[in-house]
């Protein structure tokens, strides 16, 4: 057994997966063999969920019942809504509210007593979680605004329905398509921290509610899921300053300040998801305010070309453009990470199911660095 220490498990292989693959040098991401570009531009989020959960893209005959089943599970219990209202009144953080909501979903689970090794039942539970998360999140935001929740729309897909429940208005095609693409882009991304957390929990054969709750908890950390919020806060700071956005960035970098949304643990070139969201940001700018698109593109050009970040293996990641895209869609900034979780839940569920097909309890070890041969002293003599 090797005694080599790999901090953060960097470079350590812990599982085999057929779900997603990342080539950080080429800037390539695939889900089950399909490029992220083809999926984002040609499929819906529901099709991608089907692909991740079932191993192939659905036919029209398969997609219809699958989408219907998701729609039928959108309602959340009155207890969940009441809790969201109380948490909103208490000014709880959205990610913490989402963590609580998913835990509560299990109280109304019709297959709560299913055998943990019944993976078909686990998938059905995962489908219910995925369908209910948008409803709970939208209700929480409505309560924060002092408004009543909006019931799910019977004719809208998951992405458009979330925007509808958030605002009470059916989104236009550009907004719905943009948000649907964003969900696809965030659905899976290898063994990131939150996915690995969900897998570790799943390896104990705990229920899928526990695994998804654990994934949400891991994603809530600022080193994992909050970068798009950081990006937007910086863009707003730039907008409110007396400096031109280029001048602001020059001054900030001269002071040693890091601009969020650049660099990635895996990618050494521009994140392929960032390229797609940049296109959507431009399209949204054509239909409305264009300053956020101008800010991001100018900052990218300045940092990558003039500051030479590309040569250093530092390029825009998905968060650099997702923040401004969500802002252009009218989504509150502190809801960005919960939306990340709403999308990534599909990937967490897929990884848990895949791992449990040939399960082995994940149990690494640590190198002990504490004292040896301590002499015990009874408490009355200490």
pLDDT in tens, 173-191: 999 999 999 999 999 999 9
Catalytic choice (186, 230, 319, 351) = 319
Query: Which residues, other chains included, contact 166 with Cβ-Cβ below 8 Å and sequence gap of 6+?
Result: 138, 141, 142, 150, 331
The three-point CA angle 297-303-306 to 5° equals 110
Phi, psi of 85, deg, nearest 5? -65, -45
245 is annotated as an active-site residue: no
In tens, the pLDDT along 244-296 reads: 888 888 888 888 888 888 888 888 889 999 999 999 999 998 877 788 998 99
The whole-number pLDDT of residue 1 equals 59
Q: Kindly report whether the global pTM for this prediction surpasses the value 0.75.
A: yes
Candidate list 245, 264, 271, 351, residue with the active-site label: 264
What is the pLDDT, as a whole number, of residue 306? 73
| CA-closest candidate to residue 238, choices 301, 282, 299 | 299
Contact 70, 158 (CB under 8 A): yes
The pLDDT assigned to 2 comes to: 67
CA atoms within 13 A on the CB side of 274: 21
Query: Within 13 Å, how many C-alpha atoms sit on residue 202's CB side?
Result: 29
Whether 189 is catalytic is no
Neighbours of 328 (CB within 10 A): 22
Question: Which residues of the chain carry a pLDDT beneath 70?
Answer: 1-2
The first and second tokens of residue 42, run together, are 């040609």
pLDDT tens, residue by residue, 132-162: 999 999 999 999 999 999 999 999 999 999 9
In Å, how far are 164, 188, 192, 220, 230 from 223, measured between CA atoms? 30, 17, 11, 9, 11
């Amino acid at each position: 057994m090797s005694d080599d220490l790999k901090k953060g498990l960097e470079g350590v292989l812990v599982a085999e997966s057929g779900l997603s693959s990342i080539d950080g040098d080429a800037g390539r991401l695939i889900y089950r063999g399909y490029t992220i570009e083809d999926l984002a531009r040609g499929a819906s989020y529901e099709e991608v969920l089907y692909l991740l959960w079932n191993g192939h893209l659905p036919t029209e005959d398969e997609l219809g019942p699958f989408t219907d089943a998701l729609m039928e599970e959108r309602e959340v219990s009155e207890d969940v809504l009441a809790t969201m209202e109380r948490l909103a009144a208490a000014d709880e953080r959205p990610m913490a509210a989402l963590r609580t909501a998913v835990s509560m979903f299990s109280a109304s689970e019709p297959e709560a007593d299913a055998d943990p090794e019944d993976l078909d039942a686990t998938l059905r539970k995962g489908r219910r979680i995925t369908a209910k998360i948008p409803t709970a999140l939208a209700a929480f935001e409505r309560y924060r605004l002092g408004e009543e929740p909006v019931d799910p729309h019977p004719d809208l897909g998951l992405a458009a329905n979330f925007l509808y429940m958030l605002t009470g208005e059916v989104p236009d095609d550009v907004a719905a398509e943009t948000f649907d693409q964003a969900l696809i882009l965030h659905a899976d991304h290898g063994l990131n921290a939150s996915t690995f957390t969900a897998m570790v929990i799943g390896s104990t054969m705990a229920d899928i509610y526990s695994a998804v709750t654990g994934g949400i908890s891991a994603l809530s950390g600022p080193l994992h899921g909050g970068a798009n919020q950081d990006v937007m806060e910086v863009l707003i700071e730039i907008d409110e300053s007396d400096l031109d956005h280029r001048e602001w960035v020059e001054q900030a970098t001269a002071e040693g300040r890091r601009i969020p949304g650049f660099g990635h643990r895996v990618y050494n070139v521009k994140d392929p998801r960032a390229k797609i969201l940049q296109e959507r940001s431009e399209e949204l700018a054509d239909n409305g305010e264009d300053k956020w698109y101008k800010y991001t593109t100018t900052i990218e050009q300045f940092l990558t070309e003039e500051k030479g970040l590309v040569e250093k293996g530092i390029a825009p990641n998905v968060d650099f453009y997702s923040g401004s895209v969500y802002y252009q869609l009218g989504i509150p900034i502190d809801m960005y990470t919960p939306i990340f979780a709403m999308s990534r839940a599909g990937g967490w569920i897929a990884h848990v199911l895949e791992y449990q097909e040939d399960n082995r309890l994940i149990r690494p070890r640590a190198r002990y660095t504490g004292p040896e041969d301590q002499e015990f002293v009874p408490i009355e003599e200490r």
